[in-house]
Amino acid sequence: MTAETPTRRTVLTTGVAVAGAAAGAVALAACGTDSGSAGSSGGSAPTAAAGTTVAALNDIPVGQAKSVTVSGQPAIVARPTETTAACFSAICTHQGCTVNPEGGKLNCPCHGSVFNALTGAVEKGPAQTALPSIPVKVDGSNVVTA
């Protein structure tokens, strides 16, 4: 018995099938969750000792928010009214990217989720869970952890 020489059609169809399988594997891998430095969805809010200063109240315009860090973790501090503040983890609950404040919104640059800067609630997906809250209060002219 001798081995048959493959036909041009056999080589082409086999090559297409192998390339298609490889492309499918790459596409599936891209859909997986990111286990790298960006974190994972549904994370928890950073914690800090009560009374830790987060920001000066006057640095936050009423109705807006700004980026801060709490215990070395990215966070958002907002000023809903002249005398109140709110704080949230800045880690998107979809895939763990850091959200950016823009006026009264928090935008995720990775997949387009939008959160309300004053409440942390999801306004536009793909995220489905609000940003975890960090307890804060106004103490004189500062926003501090509660």
Q: What is the pLDDT of residue 103?
A: 87
> What is the DSSP-derived secondary structure letter of residue 125?
S
- pLDDT, one tens digit per residue, over 86-110 is 999 999 999 999 999 998 999 999 9
- How many Cα atoms sit within 13 Å of 16 on the Cβ side? 6
Decide: helix, strand or coil at residue 85: strand
Mean pLDDT for the chain? 79
Q: Which of 3-7, 21-25, 119-123, 140-144 has the lowest mean pLDDT?
A: 21-25
- pLDDT, one tens digit per residue, over 35-84 is 333 333 445 677 778 889 999 999 999 999 999 999 999 999 999 999 99
Q: What is the pLDDT of residue 8?
A: 56
Q: What is the pLDDT of residue 48?
A: 74
